[in-house]
Chain A
Amino acid sequence: QKEVEQDPGPLSVPEGAIVSLNCTYSNSAFQYFMWYRQYSRKGPELLMYTYSSGNKEDGRFTAQVDKSSKYISLFIRDSQPSDSATYLCAMIRSSLPNAGGTSYGKLTFGQGTILTVHP
């Protein structure tokens, strides 16, 4: 069983739709949660990160973390064709430079969900 599970999709929605992307995880040691976006043939780029349970909003994007359920979500409002990409959730045990030992900086990714927003 993978530490982080993410439905690979693909997910196809019309422009303007609200998109919900989700990941579950099994290791309660994960402290920080990130969403990366990866366009075709490009490297991943950080979209959002969260620490505690709750919501974090940035423009059309909202990241949600529920540590009790080990479940994270990314919502995209008013989706645009330019949002078409693969969305990868990622998690990390510790962000502190002097903590975490060999796990410092070790991102564990979900498989990624392929999203297509059609006009």
Chain B
Amino acid sequence: DTAVSQTPKYLVTQMGNDKSIKCEQNLGHDTMYWYKQDSKKFLKIMFSYNNKELIINETVPNRFSPKSPDKAHLNLHINSLELGDSAVYFCASSQRGGQVAGEQYFGPGTRLTVT
């Protein structure tokens, strides 16, 4: 029983294409996040949603658009992919009313390679 799942696990695509990554959590959490981990393992938050409402939107190109159809799902759509978008993208979730907002549960990651 997977807690936070992402699809696809691997994504290889060419520059200029549009792609989506899907995320689902079955933990009953109400807050979900997207993180980007670069080749040096540096993990940086991109977006977070609470009950389908965007609450964190870091300085991310507007080619990236998150979408939360319900509180168990958070998808990431990327337009006009660039070489610099190559990274591992992690979805995470947490419970807003939980004791520690930093107690986030991460998915397995989606490894995106743009050629």
B75-100 with Cβ < 8 A to chain A: 90, 92, 94, 96-97, 99-100
A46 touches which of B40, B44, B55, B104 (Cβ 8 Å): B104
Q: A43-B4, A92-B101, A112-B43 are in contact. Are A97 and B96 (CB under 8 A)?
A: yes
Within 8 A of B (CB), among A68-101: 86, 88, 90-92, 94-97, 100
Whose C-beta in chain B lies nearest to the C-beta of A93? B101
Q: Residue A61 at the B interface, CB < 8 A?
A: no
Cβ contacts under 8 Å, A88 to chain B: 41, 43
Tell me the smallest distance from the CB of A40 to a CB of chain B, in Å: 11
Residues of A close to B45: CB separation below 8 A = 106-108
Q: Which of B14-69 contact A (CB under 8 A)?
A: 31, 33, 40-45, 48, 50, 55-57
Q: Is the CB of A105 within 8 A of B55?
A: yes
CB of B107 within 8 A of CB of A94, answer no
- Check A111 against B42 for contact (C-beta < 8 Å): yes
